[in-house]
């Protein structure tokens, strides 16, 4: 038993490892070859916006950082019905998928770098406690949709596969979990697999 556990009666919260986002490009190839799921080119970071000019300046800095890059993605921010802000980036596929090479046509490295930059900009300015998750959506020709969700406060991923405004495909979620178990740190508690109804890109 560690000192933290002895003093508080609970285990120390797991620290965010934002570099885990860079595991997603490899995992996306596995999803394509094993399940026929391709990245859509969209990705987003969800957070609770803080009051005050300092936060809005930091958010503007994050957007400016993305838009000043040589191959700048499309960027937009929206607010959902629960009061969370979604900063969404779009990197459309640059060509047709190539099953032989596992190339989805989406620059997953650049997309994950975008999401990492947004997270680290907010974190460095002291707004880490407001970060909820990052989301990278996938889909297939049959209309199935699933998002890889990175939980900032737990440092783990889980799949979320909505099938309607308030329904989800649990079997597909378990299939994605089993497919990626060896490639990503998967959230072990199913109760922690939050439903992200209305999330952008899903």
Q: Is residue 198 part of a domain?
A: no
Q: What's the predicted TM-score (pTM) here?
A: 0.88
Question: Once rounded to an integer, what is the mean pLDDT over residues 76-94?
Answer: 92
- Give the model's pLDDT for residue 15: 56
Compute, in degrees rounded to 10, the torsion defined by CA atoms 159, 164, 169, 173: 0
* Residue 103 pLDDT > 80: no
- Give the model's pLDDT for residue 92: 84
* Residue 176 pLDDT > 90: yes
Expressed as residue numbers, the domain containing 164 is 16-192
* Residue 99 pLDDT > 60: no
Number of domains in the chain: 1
Q: What is the band of 130 on the pLDDT scale with cuts at 50, 70, 90? A: very high
Q: Is residue 9 part of a domain?
A: no
- CA 103, 108, 110, 113 dihedral sign is negative
DSSP, collapsed to helix, strand or coil, labels residue 139 as strand
Q: Is residue 118 part of a domain?
A: yes
């Amino acid at each position: 038993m560690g000192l933290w556990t002895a003093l508080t009666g609970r285990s120390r919260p797991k620290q965010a490892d934002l570099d885990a986002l860079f595991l997603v490009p490899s995992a996306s190839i596995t999803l394509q070859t094993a399940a026929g799921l391709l990245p859509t080119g969209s990705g987003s970071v969800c957070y609770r916006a803080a009051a005050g000019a300092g936060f809005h300046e930091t958010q503007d800095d994050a957007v400016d950082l993305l838009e000043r890059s040589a191959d700048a993605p499309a960027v937009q921010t929206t607010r959902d019905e629960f009061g969370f802000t979604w900063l969404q980036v779009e990197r459309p596929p640059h060509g047709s998928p190539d099953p032989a090479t596992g190339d989805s046509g989406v620059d997953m490295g650049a997309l994950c770098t975008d999401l990492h930059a947004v997270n680290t900009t907010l974190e460095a300015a002291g707004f880490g406690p407001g970060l909820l998750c990052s989301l990278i959506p996938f889909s297939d020709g049959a209309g199935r949709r699933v998002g890889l969700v990175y939980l900032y406060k737990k440092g783990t991923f889980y799949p979320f596969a909505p099938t309607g405004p308030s329904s989800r495909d649990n079997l597909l979620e378990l299939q994605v979990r089993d497919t990626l178990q060896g490639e990503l740190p998967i959230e072990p508690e199913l109760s922690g697999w939050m439903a992200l109804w209305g999330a952008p890109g899903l």
